[in-house]
Structures are given as structure tokens and as C-alpha cells.
Amino acid sequence: MITLLLLSFCLAGCINDGDSGSSKTDGIARKGDVVAAKVGDTVIYKSDVLRAAQGQQLVKAGEALTPNNDIFQSLLDELIDQRLLKLAALDAKVQNAPEVKRQLAEARERILATYFVENHLRDKVTEEKLREMYKAQSSLRQNGTEAKVRLMTVKTQAGIKTAAAKLAAGEDFLTLAHSLAAESPSGLRTGDIGFVSRAMLPDEIGSVVFSTAAGARSKPFETQDGWHIVEVESFRRPPEASFESMRAQLLRYKTYSEIQSLMTKLRDDGAIEIVPIPMKTPSETKNE
């Protein structure tokens, strides 16, 4: 409780008091707002309580919070305590201490940066843009085809020729593939491996799979993993994920992408100089 209050005091001082750290009022116009409490010469507004509730995720954005609500009264008490601590600190000239000034400056920098980024993203990361991303990715996904594959792998050419002869004689592919699994030198999954995209297979095997017709069987072929025969049962388009199921992933990607673009531009346009830091300070060198 005290830690939260002190943190809130630090942030409130950073925002409300500007660089001087001496004002006891926030100086923000509150036209149409409702006064919830008066503490000394300062005022706590109803909107202050609502923002505190949203910040602690006690209410959702847009959800009302009435003064007769227990949450409202509890938060108002916290804000009153916070304001009393702030006023006492200002009377004690705490804001003039170098360490306090440093922490207030750091907090102010973080808050300004956060607000700037959030404001920048407001027009960049919208529901409309997320849906545009979804449609673009959907088009790409539709270009990818998956094959339902059965794979047989053995070590030697002689072994694959024997297997091919058994298949030609009518032996079941899966039964034979499982019986030969121990001979696979690569640890490749054999038998029915289900639906796979070309990217999920080693290049040489994928090339054979996607050049074999549905319902057909390949000729024996060699790769660095051994000798193989594949059967392709069918092809299909990959299942389409809904926008709702992908929204969180799209939101994360879009947000990250826009922040990266913003920071790249700021760094390109900014005057940045990395100053070499000596291994030892002049005083340390002098004392040696």
C-alpha cells in the first residue's frame, strides 16, 4: 500500500508539478468534472478516481463507477492519502533533494515517452488496419498447399528395391513402412505423417512429394537421409484461421512493427553521439 502510494506520488509529482516540483495543484482545467474531495487547497475529481480504477483494472474502459460504489470509496481514500503525502513532501521541500529530482526527471521522461508512443500508435494500429493485415496474410496462406503423405525410409538402395517389389506385389504401404522404421538412418518420421506443407519437409523430399499426383506413389529416390518412397493421398488448402483467433497475434506484430519503424526514424533523424567512457576516472588514475 505505502509502496504504491509513494510510486503514485512520484509520478503525480512528475506530471503535475512540471520541472519546478513546487506546485500543489495540477493546473489542469477540469471543465464539467465533479469534485470528489478537497484536500487542503487542492481538489480530487471524480475522473481521478475513475482513472485510478482503470489503472488497477478494477473497471473496464467506458464502464461507469458511481460514488456509492465500494470501489469508488476505497480508491478515493487512497487518493486522499496520496495527496496528503504529496502536500507533506512539498512542505518539507523534498522536491529539492537531488535524488528526488533525478527520480522525478526519470519518471517524467518515461511518462512522456509512453504517452507519445501511445498517441503515435492510435492512428497506426486500428481495427481496420488489423483486418487489412489479416486479409493480406489470408491471401498468402491460400497460396500454400498441404499434402497428406506416407513416407518410407531405409538405409540402402537394395533395401528400397526390395520394399518397392513388395509394394508392387500388393503389400500394405503403412504396414511395410512401420516394419522398416528401425532401418531409417535419419530419425525421420515414417508411415502416415499426415498433412504437411512443403516448408515442413526436407527440400529433396518436399520436391518429390509436391511433384507426385494425389493418389500416386513415387519411384524410389535417394537423399542424404537414405532411400525413400512416398505416397501422396491427397492435397488440400491449409485450414483458414478466423480473424478473432488471430487478432491478438496481429495486434502484437503490428504494434511491434510500428514501434520499430518509429524508433528507426527517430534514430535516423536524431543527433546521437556515443561518448567513449574511460575504464578509470581521472581521480582513480591519479591515485595509482
The 10s digit of each residue's pLDDT in 140-180 is: 665 578 999 999 999 899 999 999 999 999 999 999 998 88
CB burial string 31-61: b at 16+ within 10 A, e below: eeeeebbebeebbbbbebbbebbeeeebbee
Angle at which helices 98-124 and 2-16 cross, to 10° = 80
Q: How far apart are CA 114 and CA 34, in angstroms?
A: 28
Question: Is residue 284 over pLDDT 70?
Answer: no
Question: Bigger pLDDT: 211 or 12?
Answer: 211
Give the domains, in start order, of the chain with CATH numbers.
2-122 (no CATH), 144-236 (3.10.50.40)
**What integer is the mean pLDDT of 215-237?**
93
Q: How high is the mean pLDDT of the chain? A: 85
Query: CB–CB of 226/185 below 8 Å?
Result: yes
Q: How far apart are CA 172 and CA 9, in angstroms?
A: 76
Q: How far apart are CA 4 and CA 8, in angstroms?
A: 6
- Residue 190 pLDDT level (bands cut at 50, 70, 90): confident
In which region does residue 186 sit, left (phi positive, over 0), alpha (psi from -120 to 50) or beta (all else)? alpha
Question: Is residue 14 over pLDDT 60?
Answer: no
Q: E-strand spans in the chain?
A: 35-39, 42-45, 146-154, 191-197, 216-217, 221-223, 226-236
Q: How far apart are CA 38 and CA 80, in angstroms?
A: 8
Residue 9: closest CA among 94, 70, 72, 74: 94
What is the per-residue pLDDT for 288? 59
Q: Which amino acid is at 274?
A: I
